[in-house]
């Protein structure tokens, strides 16, 4: 359980460090999260069979979504101990212009 949380945190950091990722999604019908004792990591679901990352992407994205999602997947793969990784683009968010 603690290992799952550590994995989820590592995946969260790796995904958020990718250019074009605004934040992590929370899931639509059910919360996408990894749960531990008195703690949870939202946006990453670590299960024995796979790891799923929900990302919210900036608009305009720096590259096409498939390429961006693939880049996130590549970055995350090294943190998940060989489990298959799934990247879900949950939303596309317009970047706020700070000059406005």
Partner 1 sequence: MRIFNRIIVILLLAGIVALGVTTVFYIFDVSDYHLEDLSRTLGLNGLYDGVNGFVQRAENRNLDVLDIVVLALVALLGLVLLILELKPPSPRRVRMQKGTYVTRKAVEDEVNTAVEESHEVLQSNVKVKAQRRPGAIVNVTASVRPGENARSIEADVRDRVKRRLDQVGIPVGTINVQVRESDPRQTRTRVK
Interface contacts to partner 1, rule CB under 8 A: 28, 59-61, 63-70, 73, 84-92
3-state secondary structure 11-42: HHHHHHCCCCEEEECCCCCCCCEEEECCEEEE
Residue 83: both structure tokens together:
């489990």
Nearest approach, Cβ of residue 2 and partner 1 (Å) = 26
CB nearer to partner 1: pick between 9 and 91: 91
Q: How far is CA 82 from the centre of its chain?
A: 17
Q: Which of the 8 DSSP states describes residue 99? A: T
CB nearer to partner 1: pick between 8 and 69: 69
Nearest approach, Cβ of residue 88 and partner 1 (Å) = 5
CB nearer to partner 1: pick between 1 and 67: 67
CB nearer to partner 1: pick between 6 and 26: 26
Instruction: Round to whole Å and give the CA distance between 35 and 66.
Output: 28
Strand partners, 93: 58
Nearest approach, Cβ of residue 33 and partner 1 (Å) = 16
Nearest approach, Cβ of residue 82 and partner 1 (Å) = 14
């Amino acid at each position: 359980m603690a290992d799952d949380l550590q994995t989820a945190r590592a995946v969260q950091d790796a995904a958020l460090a990718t250019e074009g990722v605004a934040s992590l999604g929370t899931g639509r019908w059910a919360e996408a999260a990894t749960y531990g004792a008195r703690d949870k990591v939202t946006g990453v679901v670590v299960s024995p069979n796979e790891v799923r990352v929900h990302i919210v992407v900036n608009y305009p994205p720096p590259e096409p979504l498939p390429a961006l999602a693939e880049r996130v997947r590549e970055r995350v793969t090294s943190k998940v101990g060989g489990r298959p990784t799934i990247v879900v683009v949950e939303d596309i968010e317009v970047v706020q212009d700070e000059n406005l």
